[in-house]
Structure 1
């Protein structure tokens, strides 16, 4: 669990993924790996047309189709290698150490699962190449990645802005305290001002929980501003971001309050879809 691993594809998010991955690699003093996964469903390694001996089928036509599929897959792999090399150039220019390149032919989630033991932080774009035309959509595989990969995941914005102010959403649950502990132990956001925000009632219990979390971060050397906001979680966090010029949102991947509905569920999450800043999910 040593590498910052960045997922590179042909989407508009990939440039930002490169820049955020380079930033994270330097902050964590961790080696960087750039990964490209060629979708096996779109580009099968070897087409099986044996079941197509039906009406009007001709063996030589099936062979030509198989050859064309193989050529498409080969060209796509070459294009992926070219993208990785260009991504490496960009990350080196951004100050990262010379990164390792990896290429897989298969499924993204399965590939990441296989590589999980080497991942310290996963960096992935909010939208993939299939969603590139809609910057406000959420990539179809993001939720599957979040559910499967038990590592911190940085889901980037579509353009890069060096993080200078961080908002940590805190809901007072036991898992939220684990998020605080994990965040405090990491060097990723050291020396950056932290805005610790709870969305909920202005109650004694919420103040006590927030104060405890703030003390944990202060003890770790962070400069922390803590605040309770009322209202709907999504709008309250977005309003706070706008008011304070927040560059990075940090949340636990799983919570036990209203925040939970934005991070877990059968549909793509509202927070990730509507956020204009990168989101770091901890679990």
Structure 2
């Protein structure tokens, strides 16, 4: 099934919001919705060196027990995932989605999404997964790897989701953010939502020209568009604007090919994601 909204769910506290955000996106885009759960079957118990003070027979017996436990754990994880998928499907139907699909795969989330990428129009994922630390500014490692690997728009959802009414486009005139403005202008996802475009930097002719282009593009598409150039530090300026205008959806460009390989997303994007209390749509 091509051109679908795909929502990755797990046992984290973000999964309910992911369900609601995915249902909203599916209905707005008139696109099929599929919920995905990936069972990671990598053994949780490491094989220890048991050959010291016990005999070989005892060691083999323990390894057999460990293998049996891993097999049982995998079956339970699969069943738990199936129940989560059924619950997500029911919630989406309650939200108005006619026939949401469910898929369960074995393997790793990032590799699975890479295999399914051609079918994905929009990926919806929680800010952190069930295995991530619950610190408020921590990003799940899976999320960072997904953002690096996938070349599709990714909607990153916090613990709660409400239908957006005000969207903020973080704009710098780059090719990615110009493409983002054009996508917002064309996409049914944003119909009926007020758009704000913010540039951070000095009020110079080139910046004003770029902002005017963005506002004209949105206005021509029928949007109520507002724009501003703000001086100051990028993250702080965007966050202040968001709070002042009750913005409930951020649109940002993700990273490029950073020379520093451990930087998975651009520093501004990473900072905004870590502290975001509203959904963030990342564009590539």
TM-score, scaled relative to structure 1: 0.90
Shift of 1:81: 0.5
Shift of 1:174: 2.4
Q: Secondary structure at the match of 1:68?
A: helix
Contact 1:25–1:31 (CA<8 Å) still a contact in 2? yes
Shift of 1:268: 8.7
Shift of 1:97: 2.2
In structure 2, relative to structure 1, the CA distance for the partners of 1:282 and 1:34 (3 Å cut) is same
Task: Report Cα offsets for 1:137-162 as digits up to 9, x if no partner.
Answer: 21111111111110000000111121
Contact 1:155–1:278 (CA<8 Å) still a contact in 2? yes
Structure 1 counterpart of 2:17: 16
C-alpha separation between the residues in 1 aligned to 2:212 and 2:256? 19
Q: Secondary structure at the match of 1:17?
A: helix
Structure 1, unmatched stretches of 5+, are: 257-261
Structure 2 counterpart of 1:69: 70
What does residue range 12-161 of structure 1 map to in structure 2 within 5 Å?
12-42=13-43, 54-55=51-52, 56=54, 57-58=56-57, 59-131=60-132, 133-161=134-162
C-alpha separation between the residues in 2 aligned to 1:179 and 1:204? 22
Q: Secondary structure at the match of 2:74?
A: helix
Provide runs of 4+ in structure 1 moved above 3 Å: 51-55, 265-268
Moved more, 85-94 or 52-61: 52-61
1:191 aligned to 2:192?
yes
1:234 aligned to 2:235?
yes
Shift of 1:62: 1.9
Contact 1:138–1:268 (CA<8 Å) still a contact in 2? no
Task: Report Cα offsets for 1:56-111 as digits up to 9, x if no partner.
Answer: 34323322221111011001100010011111111111112221111111111000
Q: Secondary structure at the match of 1:181?
A: helix
1:164 aligned to 2:151?
no
C-alpha separation between the residues in 2 aligned to 1:133 and 1:231? 31
Structure 2 counterpart of 1:259: none
Q: Secondary structure at the match of 1:97?
A: coil
**Alignment length (residue pairs):** 274
C-alpha separation between the residues in 1 aligned to 2:276 and 2:19? 19
Contact 2:145–2:264 (CA<8 Å) still a contact in 1? no
In structure 2, relative to structure 1, the CA distance for the partners of 1:206 and 1:82 (3 Å cut) is same
Contact 1:176–1:255 (CA<8 Å) still a contact in 2? no
Shift of 1:54: 3.7
Contact 1:175–1:252 (CA<8 Å) still a contact in 2? yes
Contact 2:254–2:266 (CA<8 Å) still a contact in 1? no
Shift of 1:119: 0.4
Task: Report Cα offsets for 1:166-220 as digits up to 9, x if no partner.
Answer: 1011001222212222222211112211001111111111111100111112222
C-alpha separation between the residues in 2 aligned to 1:226 and 1:254? 23
What does residue range 171-210 of structure 1 map to in structure 2 within 5 Å?
171-210=172-211
Structure 2, unmatched stretches of 5+, are: 258-262
Q: Secondary structure at the match of 1:9?
A: coil
